[in-house]
């Protein structure tokens, strides 16, 4: 934003217990609200045209800022939080007062019916240059389960066929998410579990895989799957074709672990197709998720807020 001529500040939110269980978050909520007071005062004391708040549950920051605000939905703050009456009520307070709501993947539109008139899809930006040094795989011998291990992502569909998949490739998984300890104990003899890495180390993580197995329930490529495509790795995941009527992402659409194993076998027998899809994924991300396109979209959203 700054490079394009806008004045933009970034303020870190003190999110104590962000990864704690839901009941623990409720208990610590007063502490989080108290820690937010200095930030709210800073926002109120600065003449911003727009305040952009990431995650719907943090919308109170925009509401108390004294400025028009945009809410940014990233996924579970909609499809998971809206299943809980308390979280839904809390979130709806700030959504009603927001000038605009942006969301990162097309499946989230289903949760925004009451706010469709002020909602807009703005896909996540992916810096493809971070992955430019990675060579495209010549053959498929290593697969990485690259999703957060939680029920909403559908990892059980993959691990139900862990033995079948591991018979064809060296199978690894990131030990990330609430199901990780149980999965490590149950599948540790078949799957190699690797520790989560800092975001800047994701290219190194993906360099150790020829293909990536992504989420199986949401029907859209999230940040992990998009970065895998940018790295030139074939992504096997469930894709909801109704959300992509044109120019669908070049992933291998699978509905079960058995289908993953079968797709891997086909790609192993056809290295030309592996190479084609690896290159196509990288180009698709460059065309649809460039940082430049993201900034242009944000400027359009902010301009609409300021006109109102």
| C-beta neighbour count of 235 within 10 angstroms | 27
Arithmetic mean of pLDDT, 87-99: 92
pLDDT value of position 28: 65
Burial of 211 (0-12, 13-18, 19+ CB in 10 A): buried
pLDDT value of position 173: 98
pLDDT value of position 278: 96
pLDDT value of position 120: 94
pLDDT at 219 over 60: yes
pLDDT value of position 30: 74
Arithmetic mean of pLDDT, 239-243: 94
Instruction: Please give the residue that has the higher pLDDT: either 229 or 246.
Output: 229
Burial of 88 (0-12, 13-18, 19+ CB in 10 A): middle
Confidence of residue 21 (pLDDT cuts 50, 70, 90): low
Q: So what's the architecture of 22-124+290-307 in CATH?
A: 3-Layer(aba) Sandwich (3.40)
| Dihedral sign from CA coordinates of 53, 55, 59, 61 | negative
C-alpha span between 24 and 16 (Å, rounded): 10
Same fold, 22-124+290-307 and 128-288: yes
| Dihedral sign from CA coordinates of 95, 100, 105, 109 | positive
pLDDT at 86 over 90: no
17-21, 81-85, 226-230, 294-298: lowest mean pLDDT where? Answer: 17-21
Arithmetic mean of pLDDT, 198-210: 96
Arithmetic mean of pLDDT, 245-263: 95
pLDDT value of position 227: 97
Is there a contact between 62 and 71 (Cβ–Cβ < 8 Å)?
Answer: yes
Start-to-end CA distance of the chain, whole Å, equals 21
Arithmetic mean of pLDDT, 292-300: 92
pLDDT at 266 over 70: yes
What is the residue extent of each domain of the chain?
22-124+290-307, 128-288
User: What's the pLDDT tens digit per position in 46-78?
Assistant: 999 999 999 998 999 999 999 999 999 998 888
User: What's the pLDDT tens digit per position in 134-162?
Assistant: 999 999 999 999 999 999 999 999 999 99
Q: Give per-residue burial for 69-81: e unless 16+ CB within 10 Å, then b.
A: bbbbbbbbbbbeb
pLDDT value of position 14: 78
86-90, 175-179, 201-205, 227-231: lowest mean pLDDT where? Answer: 86-90
Three-class SS of residue 98? coil
pLDDT at 29 over 80: no
Is there a contact between 155 and 174 (Cβ–Cβ < 8 Å)?
Answer: no
pLDDT at 265 over 80: yes
User: What's the pLDDT tens digit per position in 5-16?
Assistant: 899 999 998 776
Considering the domain 128-288 in this protein, what is its CATH number? 3.40.50.2000
Confidence of residue 4 (pLDDT cuts 50, 70, 90): confident
pLDDT value of position 33: 79
pLDDT at 34 over 90: no
pLDDT at 24 over 80: no
pLDDT at 107 over 60: yes
pLDDT value of position 17: 64
- Find, among 34, 36, 30, the residue nearest to 13 by Cα: 36
pTM: 0.83
C-alpha span between 122 and 99 (Å, rounded): 15
The overall average pLDDT reported for the chain is 92
């Amino acid at each position: 934003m700054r490079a394009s001529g806008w004045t933009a500040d970034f303020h870190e939110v003190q999110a104590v217990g962000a990864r704690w269980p839901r009941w623990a978050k409720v208990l610590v909520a007063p502490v989080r609200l108290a820690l937010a007071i200095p930030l709210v005062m800073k926002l109120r004391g600065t003449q911003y045209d727009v305040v952009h708040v990431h995650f719907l549950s943090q919308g109170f920051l925009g509401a108390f800022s004294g400025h028009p605000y945009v809410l940014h939905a990233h996924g579970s703050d909609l499809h998971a939080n809206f299943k809980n009456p308390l979280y839904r009520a809390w979130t709806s307070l700030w959504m009603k007062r927001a000038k605009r709501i942006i969301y990162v993947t097309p499946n989230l539109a289903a949760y925004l019916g009451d706010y469709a008139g002020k909602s807009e899809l703005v896909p996540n930006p992916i810096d493809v240059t971070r992955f430019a040094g990675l060579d495209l795989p010549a053959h498929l011998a290593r697969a990485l389960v690259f999703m957060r291990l939680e029920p909403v992502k559908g990892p059980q569909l993959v691990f139900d066929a862990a033995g079948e998949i591991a018979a064809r490739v060296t199978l690894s998984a990131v030990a990330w998410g609430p199901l990780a300890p149980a999965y490590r104990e149950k599948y540790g003899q078949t799957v190699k579990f690797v520790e989560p890495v800092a975001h800047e180390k994701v290219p190194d993580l993906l360099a150790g895989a020829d293909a990536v197995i992504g989420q199986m329930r949401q029907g859209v490529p999230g940040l992990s799957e998009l970065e895998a495509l940018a790295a030139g790795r074939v992504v096997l995941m469930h894709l909801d074709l109704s959300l992509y009527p044109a120019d669908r992402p070049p992933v291998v659409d699978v509905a079960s672990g058995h289908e993953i194993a079968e797709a891997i076998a086909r790609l192993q027998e056809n290295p030309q197709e592996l190479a084609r899809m690896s290159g196509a994924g990288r180009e698709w991300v460059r065309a649809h998720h460039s940082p430049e396109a993201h900034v242009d979209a944000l400027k359009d959203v902010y301009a609409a807020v300021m006109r109102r």
